[in-house]
Structure 1
Amino acid sequence: MSLQRMLKLHYVLVLVLCVSASEDFDWTKNERGSFIYGTFPTGFSWGAGGSAYQTEGAWDKDGKGMSIWDVFAHKKGKIFLNDTADHSCEGYYKFKDDITLMKDMKFNHYRFSISWPRIFPNGIKGKCSILHRPDSPLNILHRPDSPL
């Protein structure tokens, strides 16, 4: 039996299995006890998260240095439609509003990242600018966003 014929047989078998499995599932039934419409277990922790590059905007504000990704993204033709995150959802300016919304939604956790070039604007040779702040919460550093 040729490879092409075996692959066709494989795809037909997978399709038959998927169709037969879907017959047992009622796609229109919205039970209150289901995952989507029901409640979550006691102690379940809700949270939100964001990535500095994708949500921050303000790519060149307040002493932030250039990252390898900033340089790459600003070269014409490297990114589809030459889009950058220079002006994303402006989380850099709206973080207090975001935190208020998360408190109102009773979230337990907020996972965020800080771009390395905000911490070391001049690369590893410069001083760490963020560690001198008294309000340094736990955060995640975006690994590929290395300072130049």
Structure 2
Amino acid sequence: MPSISDIIERYLVKALKEAPSGAIQVKRNELADRFQCVPSQINYVISTRFTVEKGYIVESKRGGGGYIRIRKVRFASPKAYFDVLMRQIGDAITQSTAEDVIDRLQEEKVMSDREARMAKKVISRDVLQLPVRMRDQVRARIMRALVTTLFASKGE
């Protein structure tokens, strides 16, 4: 059975896909009422499942007329996407953030399901049994090589 977080996420993703502008604007309290949960549950879903690494930009305005605007990031070119990914990866990356990047590459059809499963295994802490700082640096090197290879094979 899906959790309330999963249900809220699916609802917002569906709304985004149906939005002609690629953005939606919601009120936290209205969503909480709709899903019969506390407003902090909405905050949790948005802050953990609609991140930059997953390809979203979230803006919010507090107060009486407040809102949360969620927008799916679109890139003008594969080169622009590649550059953003390389900046996100940087010199060190956590397993969780790397998995978010892989999920996004898979969702955007840059990476197959099989490639994504293999990549997640290769970058896991089970495989990279090193001190944390070194592990995050090695993971970043692997991710940069992976992204470079994927984009080179797409003609970039």
Which TM-score band applies after superposition, normalised by the shorter structure? under 0.3
Of structures 1 and 2, the one with the larger relative CO (CA 8 A, separation 6+) is 1
TM-score for both structures, normalised by structure 2: 0.18
